[in-house]
Structure 1
Amino acid sequence: MSTGSQSCVMGSSATTLCGSLGDSSASGTQLRRQKRDWVVPTTNLKENYDYRKHSYIAKIRSDMDKKHKLHYSLLGHGANKDPINLFVVDTIGLVYVRGILDREKQESYTLIGLARFDNGSIAEEKIEITFAVEDENDNPPVFAPAPPAEVYESSPAGTLVGRVTATDADKTGTNHTRIAYSIAKQEPFHGEHLFYIDKTTGSIYVKEETLDREKHSSYILTIKGTDMGGDPGGKTGNGTILVKLLDINDNTPSLDKDEYSASIKENIANVEVLRFKVLDADEDYNINWMAVFNIVSGNEEGIFSVRTDPKTNEGVLMLVKPADFEENPNIQLGVVVANVAPPAGGDGGDGGPGGGGGGVYSVTIAVLNEPEGAVFRPPVKPVPVSENPKDNPKNKVITVFRASDGDTGEPAENVRYAKGYDPDNWLVINPETAEVRLQKTPDRESPFLVNGTYYAEILSLSNDMPSKTATGTLALQVGDTNDNCPTLIDPIQKHCSYTEVVNIIAEDEDGDPNSAPLTFNFVDEKSMKKWRVEPLNDWVPSHSSVTPLGEVAFMMN
């Protein structure tokens, strides 16, 4: 950069002459013509340099000063506009700098020089002078706040983590703003650098496949930016970035005990039996930590269920159906635990639907005996009866259905009996002996039968307070007798005289063998001569016709 001065001559014919001067006198003349005007070359000035210790930086003058006394002034930003009086001109046209230039505030100044007579009128046309401020490497790199970066633990080397960016207020495109990045510090640090940074772009990558969230869930990286492309003489600035490690399901869930035991009362349900505490090093309250449970053995009857408490991640073993001490006083369950998310690597382990099972845990459930009162065993008692009054006369005892002690299996004591459901009021129950009698003749054709069976209930009521009730079911299997005559579906049919075929259908409400096959006979012998019988289904020929479905055709001979 030249340290000399500029001499600018304002000609009366609207031309401008500029000569390069030393600190005190002209050393030559440099003129460039642009159209009809002489253009003053730009003068380069250093930023951060104190020109107040030196002579003038430029000179302007007019030819008119040979005949008249002139007054010179400067117009523009840096002269009569902010920053005011940074550039000043004296009475003989010498231009000075009265402050320290800062390129980052303003990188050039364009001033207008004027010459006036004593009366203030303009002696010469204006002259334009431009001063360019040369950049100096006086600004360090500055880092913008970086948002937290995230990367999964166990990510392979070369995985992009994030990026930092620094800026430099010096002149763009110069070496002063060419920034090289490096990692100055990793916190925490245990002898292993886990990340590296691209010197040019500021992109941060995983260095080794050793990130483990369970050891450290985050790291703070201090990034150094050095301008001049990283030259030792370059200015530096520091920034930080927080790197968070995202959790993967790389830890197997387990329970706090190898074996569990609990007790339950028989004949109760919908109660909590016990809880399983889960141990899992993965991040709390995400799918890699949340547990799922499964009962893999001992629960074939569906007596138990297990769920996960979403607040504590504990397994809750529930009794959903009553257990029976007499049938099974000790129950052995096998329980497994897994995560909601599949394990890293895709191996589901022993955990069932989730991932990372830790094996089968043994659970022993002791069933506590409770006084059960009376029960009917079996709960349904079949009793064959007949609809023939001779076989089952009224008030005859058809069966005795006593309740048993639920604990001992012996006949129940201190109980009385009563009739429960009896839709057609067939039965009478002896309250002391549980003898069952008929007070109505059974009817197999009754609408209250289901597939030939009449169902009724007998109740056992304990004499203590409050009374306990047990219910038994009587299944009366009604045997059929031939107590129904066949009937014609359409007993009267009208036909024309020329009708040659008549279809006849009969039915019998009795069951086999008291219904079909049916026999059809002509009552009138004259009709036998005019008509004959033809079967419409299986027919056994004889002097009369036989058909299992009771359907025949009478045809004219």
Structure 2
Amino acid sequence: MEEGSVVANVAADLGLEVKTLSERKMRLDFSGNKKYLDVNIKTGDLYVVERLDREYLCLARSSCFLKIDVVVDKPLRIFNIELGITDINDNAPHFRRDRIELDISETALVGERFTLSNAVDPDVGSNSIKTYHLSESEHFNTEIVTGSDGHMYVDLVLKKALDREEEAVHNLILTAVDGGVPARSGTASIIVHVLDVNDNAPRFEQEIYSVNLTENSPIGSLVIQVNATDLDQGPNADLLYSFTLYTSERTQELFALDSVTGQIRIKGAIDFEEVKSYEMHVQATDKGLNSLTGQCKIVISLLDINDNYPEITIKSFSSAVKENVTVGTVIAVITTDDRDSGANGEVDIHLPETLPFTLKKSSENYYELVISQPLDREKVAQYDITITVRDKGFPPLSENETITLELLDVNDNAPQFPQSFYTIPVLENNAPGSLLSSLSAFDPDLHENQYLVYFIIEKEIVNTSMSMLFSINPENGDLYALKTFDYEREKEFLFHIEARDSGVPPLSSNVTVHIIIMDQNDNTPVIVSPWRSHGSVVEEVIPRSIDKGHLVAKVIAIDG
């Protein structure tokens, strides 16, 4: 009941007059420390002052009473009251452990039972636990047993045989449901670990392994690693490898088998000319109580060794050519040779694909190194050409020879200015010989092909040539003014400068130069109206009576 709810009218039940309750000091006395109820002395009602919890007051007892003494004075009387507390379904079932783990052997028989911890519900009567449910399972169900004390116990029952190799862990949910309305429930996880038994023999990945092995392989070299697996667990899946009696003593002298890893390594000299193949039988045995084995066969075929490297010889070579050499020019003659026979003696020759060269076969084992693309020294000045020969043996052997080709420069690049048009501001009244700007060009060629000379292209302005106004340093392109410029007379100049290299024939380029003369305040203003002679005073005659705003005179001045 909620706090403030009226339980009964004790005045009426005890035959006391309500109007005397205050005078007689009616009060309640409890056996415990908590005061769950109180009495209204104005009405005689017994009401709730603190929530009543039947499970706290009476634990698991089916009947629950709260004892109260009602005391009044004048005369003193004590009335004994027992208040019955009725259970409601306010507690859900719960398990003491919400995770139950079971270890069950995969050889457990169908029908075998496994006791589970039961759930508890502090409610009583119909509100207590009524049944258990198990989540859907192919292998398990539950059976409920009622003990002599009336409590319900639940067993997990195996209904289908287990196989750890198919499913090693089963995850189930057990639900306890009480009989309240509405019903409450609680759950626990059941984790069944299936214990392994040695019921699977080891199996190799292949029944027959075929291996090709080169003769004279170093002692200790790995030939093959066989691998078997066992579906069991623990010691039942731990394997040891060994040769069977079907493996000859000679084979066991030449090959070693690691009992743990299954690696087979060479431990003696392997000679193709002595024996061309070996056959061995290997077994894997588990460490189970009743051990089981699996077997495989290994066939090793020896391969003849390719022990001679191919050779390459440069018969003739032009180590330096001009960069404008024509495509198709032969720059070297090469021969190849390999002392092996069969595929081991057949030779392929090739160049890196990124190079502008190709190889052309001229006759048996003779090749010409030919230019296949136009060359440009300014992009690549020197080529390190690596010629590789490789035979067709197994594994193939190869040799290479590197030759260096130098490209000689030709005058195929004109000088280049950073800009095609230069605008140069020059302040008037400049000093003659002052530096105006540096107009240097660049030529990517070499030596005399990159040595530049600078010229001013002649152009006359009012019978005056540009070379009388400006000069340029022929070596570095520094541009100078040869005279003092006056903005009031000359405001700009437009001409061309040429840069020419020293190649044969020479190449050149030019650039446009725009000189802008900047004004300075170097002229005094002059009054031109009204006119007056030097030092004279200008007089104006005006009428004696004139109106305000009358024009007396207009002064005009100019500044050059």
Q: TM-score range by the shorter chain?
A: 0.3 to 0.5
* TM-score (ref. length: structure 1): 0.43
Q: Please give the TM-score of this superposition, normalised by the length of structure 2.
A: 0.43
